[in-house]
Amino acid sequence: MEMETELVLSSSLHYMLPRKRAVGGEAVVVEVEEDNCKAGSLKKPRILTATIGPAEATGNVNTNSSIGDNNSNHSRGDAKPPIMALGEGNPPDIDEDLHSRQLAVYGRETMRRLFASNVLISGMQGLGAEIAKNIILAGVKSVTLHDEGSVELWDLSSNFIFTEDDVGKNRALASVQKLQELNNSVVISTLTTELTKEQLSDFQAVVYTNTSLEKAIEFDDYCHNHQPPISFIKSEVRGLFGSVFCDFGPEFTVFDVDGEDPHTGIIASISNDNPALVACVDDERLEFQDGDLVVFSEVQGMTELNDGKPRKVKNARPYSFSLDEDTTDFGAYEKCGIVTQVKQPKVLKFKPLKEALKDPGDFLLSDFSKFDRSPLLHLAFQALDKFIMELERFPVAGSEEDARKLISFACNINDSLTVGKLEEIDQKLLHHFAFGARAVLNPMAAMFGGVVGQEVVKACSGKFHPLFQFFYFDSVESLPTEPLDPSDLKPINSRYDAQISVFGAKLQKKLEDAKVFIVGSGALGCEFLKNVALMGVSCGNQGKLTITDDDVIEKSNLSRQFLFRDWNIGQAKSMVAASAAASINPHLHIEALQNRASPETENVFDDTFWENLIVVINALDNVNARLYIDQRCLYFQKPLLESGTLGAKCNTQMVIPHLTENYGASRDPPEKQAPMCTVHSFPHNIDHCLTWARSEFEGLLEKTPAEVNAYLVNPIEYTSAMRNAGDAQARDNLERVIECLDKERCETFQDCVTWARLKFEEYFANRVKQLTFTFPEDAATSNGAPFWSAPKRFPRPLQFSIDDPSHLHFVMAASILRAETFGIPIPDWVKSPMKLADAVSKVIVPDFLPMKDAKIVTDEKATSLSTASVDDAAVINELIMKLEKCQKKLPPGFRMNPIQFEKDDDTNYHMDVISSLANMRARNYSIPEVDKLKAKFIAGRIIPAIATSTAMATGLVCLELYKVIHGGHKVEDYKNTFANLALPLFSMAEPVPPKVIKHQDMSWTVWDRWILGDNPTLRELLQWLRDKGLNAYSISYGSCLLYNSMFPRHKERMDRKLVDLAKEIGKAELPPYRRHFDVVVACEDDEDNDIDIPQISIYFR
């Protein structure tokens, strides 16, 4: 059992956030309080050595490591001075353009802790290289690579850094240059001589990938007892088996166990009771669990709960919970209130390796069908260590004698156990383990590189729950289904020898001759390309890999799309990625395209292209593209390997013809959208404010200028279209265009300042005054309930002040963008607060008078704020006349410059306007404001992404790729996975088989497509179906009916070729590359029961 206590950290500690990566350490007093202690009985305070670093929440301090050691000149005793790559170790601060997706996962404080951390990686074979890649991309202060060995041809099966030219060089030295290219702000150095314990004192985390148990125990003891403790990780990949062990010291504090935002609820009622019952509005389900601590705010009436004291949740339900508190004597609840989860730090007590080997505790499981596998692998890895110590070599692949020896070692270790002794040892599994023990396979290295890379981040930052303490994994299902001939496992002096020693030369040949399609070359695509290049996929004479992506490289890609460099920004992703993959393995036969795979490009990805493929690998970032590729794979009956990531989470899904359901067979429910009236008039969280802000940004700065240009380019056509539409939307469009070209037209920059100042008044004062005039604070609904009841929040207007920097910032950013739309030069003085304040002071702001008949939408089902009117047509005619007058006043050739929202450029003022709009609105409604970065995540809909989960997902998929290309596996051999590296959680299960439809002695699934060749007539198709006991009553092509038994005239079509009917009636365009078309047939059986049959393909060429 893992031991834990909760830390309550003094809120009186305030810490300056460091501006640079290097920070110094100092001592902090932290009080540890027991959960159930009586008032006044506190545990004795302890002095903990800690670096003052930024905290994820108030008072969170990393007490586990001397984060921020300024001394990067590691003392190495008699060792040679390190070879150090050129890299700036102290950047001024986090580059938010580069790390935006990673910041969305970790937050600034975790990133700064990372930036102050020094990491050692010992063993630079495939696993070491993958771990190094992931933590260098994450951005630590320094990485020291240790390896005493030389590059062998064998290493090229799993290490993406090495080439054949590196054979014979020291592994660490050969790794520096390519790893340094990943992130110039990380100092990378090397050690090429034997490590001593004393050298470890300079590091916050040390990782060993290829060391004996004896040495590992010695190093771990030193790290465990060091002050402060050094986080120790030991990981190995041996063929299709892998292990991880973590020891982060006697007491390691986790500040954020899962990385999720604290859950919140909007209160509807609280009882005066013991325990009190708290009910919340049914806007969203509560995510609280029994035992959670929560705090209350904004409660009216029962104000005693607003004291900030954490209280315990009991009996948690979807929309209510009990509070472990007696509220009998509290004030009666009146209205309002927010309840928020308090995330508690957690202290883990790790055992050193020496103890943990004998008493490993609970193993972290990945596959419940193998729940008894971990204790056996715990023995197997110890037996392998003993084998290597005694024989000074690895077992030889295919050697029965070596396998027996390793099994004997395992049995002896098992017999010596007093606790946890196994009753039976699976000798077949240990045979597989022995045969592949020397090999480091790329997919295994990629997967474990992700897992271990994430553990290093946890060790350095206290973010996410560490792996506690052993994790074992195997993928023996990836082996060929038939027994392997030992002679097939022998090395052939090729770069694939390590892989051949596990899978045999026959499967290697299949891999090399495979025709593969990778869709997308972003983060997943880069990892897949690296993996398949190392595996030798499509590297033979018959093989071909096609990759396509229509995107170009941006700066924000570089923190995880590791094949790209800063000099590639602006270039095509697929071209750069293909070139980089070919440099990993020059034998790779790859074609890079820049076409989006879609119905519009079926002339590029035509029937012949799809029919020749062996497998498709998706590396996409949106559901619609995935569904399209899924349909293509269904149609052509091709395996599809699907994966995706979201922050520290990842999932993989295997779509195998006739064995599994397809990707589109199950869908996630659509995300809940806030009603339009909530976003526009009744926001109650910052997401609503940001949704509104982005909508206003696009309306003011993109859509309206574009609408103006549409009119100016062709006034006659535009006004004619508006007259023909004659609806509220057309009226609104015309009003916006006239407003833009008439009273809101800007000719000077002062006009833009005036516009921005008046927009502030309109948005944050006048609209609120109108809303509260129409619905006063004491307003009631038609059934007598208070109108302003939860979740609605009563707003207050803002009073503009030139002394408020946020008010001036809004005016500055908005006036700059307004000037851009009108092509007005932007003066330097706009960035001077004093000069801008002078310009704002010149603006005359008219007094506001509320309207008595203002229409404010309160219907949550309304989809538009425009209200139709019987006079729309007449009003539109008047507006067109006004517009024509406006046009005459414009200079010749006048056009506006619409601004398209771009979130990833911090110099363009787009996010300044959106975050200012959202925060001012939040201030109206007393909603907590957010900084520009958080606003960018929400308004820019940024998907959180990190390199570790991406690497793990692609490693898991490539373990399935072995099975697909071999071709003889059953559905139970395949694995779908969901993993969350933050927890950590691994959940693997066999895929769901497809639904089977039966008729007479036939059966079919969604995978089946019936094919009728030889250019048949309609009569021949009907007879072909009758022979199957099916009576067709309707045949359609697209939306056109080719035949219906109810229409007598359709009988005249019986002897016509179906292709001619499709061209004539269905207007089918069948280009030369198309050899067939598809029809949908509705059928009945002889008892008139409808039968769903597969799509039918008619081949006419």
Q: Does 748 have pLDDT greater than 80?
A: yes
pLDDT of residue 729: 87
Using the Cα atoms of residue 829, residue 833, residue 836 and residue 837 in order, give the sign of their dihedral.
negative
Concatenate the DSSP letters of all residues of 1028-1055 into one string: TT-EEEEEEETTEEEEETT-GGGGGGTT
pLDDT of residue 44: 30
Q: Does 39 have pLDDT greater than 60?
A: no
pLDDT band with cut points at 50, 70 and 90 for residue 1101: confident
Burial of 1085 (C-beta count, 10 Å sphere; 0-12/13-18/19+):
middle
Both tokens of residue 454? 């994430």
Q: Answer yes or no: 677 catalytic.
A: yes
Q: Name which of 467, 436, 472 is nearest 452 in CA terms.
A: 467
49 near 25, Cβ under 8 Å? Answer: yes
Mean pLDDT of the chain: 90
| 466-470, 832-836, 862-866: least confidently modelled range | 862-866
Q: Does 76 have pLDDT greater than 50?
A: no
pLDDT band with cut points at 50, 70 and 90 for residue 11: very low
- β-partners of residue 189 are 84, 144
Q: Does 47 have pLDDT greater than 80?
A: no
Q: Name which of 694, 556, 656 is nearest 137 in CA terms.
A: 556
pLDDT of residue 1034: 96
Q: Name which of 520, 484, 518 is nearest 502 in CA terms.
A: 484
* Helices 573-584 and 523-535, axial angle in degrees (round to 10): 30
Its pTM stands at: 0.87
Q: Does 60 have pLDDT greater than 50?
A: no
pLDDT of residue 83: 41
Determine the average pLDDT of the residues in 494-523: 98
Burial of 981 (C-beta count, 10 Å sphere; 0-12/13-18/19+):
buried
CA–CA distance, 856 with 771 (Å, rounded to integer): 8
For 147-164, how does the pLDDT look when each residue is reduced to its tens digit (9 = 90+)? Answer: 999 999 999 999 999 999
Residue in the block written with tokens 């100016």: 712
For 701-720, how does the pLDDT look when each residue is reduced to its tens digit (9 = 90+)? Answer: 999 999 999 999 999 999 99
Q: Does 49 have pLDDT greater than 50?
A: no
pLDDT of residue 864: 59
Both tokens of residue 1002? 């036939």
CA–CA distance, 1043 with 1046 (Å, rounded to integer): 9
Both tokens of residue 891? 């200079």
pLDDT of residue 3: 40
3-state secondary structure 539-601: CCCCCEEEEECCCECCHHHHHCCCCCCHHHCCCEHHHHHHHHHHHHCCCCCEEEECCCCCHHH
For 939-954, how does the pLDDT look when each residue is reduced to its tens digit (9 = 90+)? Answer: 999 999 999 999 999 9
Measured in degrees and rounded to the nearest 5, phi and psi for residue 739 equal: -60, -40
Residue 353 CB partners (closer than 8 Å, separation 6+): 213, 216, 217, 220, 221, 232, 234, 245, 247
SS3 state of residue 1097: strand
For 606-631, how does the pLDDT look when each residue is reduced to its tens digit (9 = 90+)? Answer: 989 999 999 999 999 999 999 999 99
* Active-site annotation holder among 677, 689, 740, 958: 677
Q: Does 45 have pLDDT greater than 70?
A: no
Pairing of strands 4-6, 346-348: antiparallel
Round to the nearest angstrom and report the end-to-end CA distance of the chain. 68
* Helices 442-461 and 96-115, axial angle in degrees (round to 10): 60
- β-partners of residue 191 are 146
